[in-house]
Amino acid sequence: MAQAFTIDKHGQESLDEYLEYKRIVGDDDNGRLFTEAEYEAYKKKWIPIRMKNRIYVAFHNSDRDMDCKLIGPQTPCFCGHRYINHKTDFEKVPNPIKQPCRNCVCDNFHFIPKNGSQPIRCTCKHFPDDHALKHPYGCKKCPTGPKKCSEFKGSFTCDCGAAVYKHIMVKETKAERIKRGKPVGHDVPYQAMGGITGFSSLAPGVDRLDPSGIGPSSAGGGAPIQPGDHPFLKMHAQSLPDRKTPQTQQLQRREGESDMEYFERLYKWKQKTGYFLKN
């Protein structure tokens, strides 16, 4: 039987410092912890570059102008490795933006969704593992000839209602994303953040009730921030819109209202007021 163990305050602080270190450094230390001097030199070089040249990555439905999947550090690529295993830091942003994998021959990060926990099939009936690791990901199992599968074409339907093959990978700078009217969130020093700008970024595009992607907004209604709320909310409390207007009071959760009842009421309000068309 496993024994329970506790971590004292000093141990918790050390754990927090290590997690912060890994979010910043990732695998750039090649498995050997940087010395304090090396760590400071690494941060001095790369954090300003990340603030300036962050690459926002999304699996995008062009027909609906929707980012169906915002890519984060642990998002898997077609090659099977994670986004954080690909090149994400650029001293000078290339054009076009290509993000090769550091662990295999994959020459550019490309997201492919799954059906639950299972990989989806190509229209040739084979899995991604049966295809080449470079675009256009031709099938290695299909026989040669005029009908040979020359590209991976997933017909699986995304949450947005469109087939996977009708989506594109969007890789853009902060300025380009702002020009498209998409959220950029707050500048952070962490590696491989991609399109993640807040908690709501983890939800599929069709479920992202808060279009800002950086937490509760006046349109989302939420209750006022309290001392016991999550540190992320308290940290950005000053940047959140005023919640004391009649509209935001009306949209706050009612006493005894369940999550589903609240979100359904919020969704109906957005439909009625034309919120989706304006945003």
In a domain, 90, yes or no: yes
Nearest Cα to Cα of residue 75 among 105, 42, 106, 114? 114
In a domain, 106, yes or no: no
In the DSSP assignment, the letter for residue 223 is P
Looking at the fold, whether 83 and 59 belong to one and the same domain comes out as: yes
Note the pLDDT of residue 94.
Answer: 95
- The Cα–Cα gap between 197 and 193 comes to 8
In a domain, 149, yes or no: no
In this model, does residue 245 exceed pLDDT 80?
Answer: no
Looking at the fold, whether 179 and 231 belong to one and the same domain comes out as: no
Looking at the fold, whether 46 and 69 belong to one and the same domain comes out as: yes
User: Cβ distance 28 to 42 under 8 Å?
Assistant: yes
SS (H, E, C) 257-275: CCHHHHHHHHHHHHHHHCH
pTM over 0.85: no
In this model, does residue 83 exceed pLDDT 70?
Answer: yes
Looking at the fold, whether 274 and 178 belong to one and the same domain comes out as: no
Q: Which residue has the tokens 């300036």?
A: 52
Note the pLDDT of residue 2.
Answer: 62
Note the pLDDT of residue 207.
Answer: 81
User: Cβ distance 78 to 137 under 8 Å?
Assistant: yes
In a domain, 126, yes or no: no
In a domain, 254, yes or no: yes
Average pLDDT of the segment spanning 15-34: 94
Could you read off the pLDDT of 171-216 as tens digits, one per residue?
999 999 999 888 888 889 999 999 998 888 888 888 876 554 444 4
In a domain, 121, yes or no: no
Could you read off the pLDDT of 41-71 as tens digits, one per residue?
999 999 999 999 999 999 999 988 899 999 9
User: Cβ distance 88 to 195 under 8 Å?
Assistant: no
Could you read off the pLDDT of 107-146 as tens digits, one per residue?
999 999 999 889 999 999 999 999 999 999 999 999 887 7
Domain interval for residue 59 = 20-94+169-202
Distances (CA, A) of 70 to 53, 58, 122, 164, 194: 18, 5, 22, 15, 7
Distances (CA, A) of 87 to 27, 90, 92: 11, 8, 13
Note the pLDDT of residue 1.
Answer: 60
**How many structural domains compose the chain?**
2
**pLDDT > 90 fraction of the chain, expressed in percent and rounded:** 56
Distances (CA, A) of 36 to 22, 24, 40, 213: 14, 14, 6, 34
In the DSSP assignment, the letter for residue 188 is -
**pLDDT > 70 fraction of the chain, expressed in percent and rounded:** 78
Query: What mean pLDDT, rounded, does the chain reach?
Result: 83
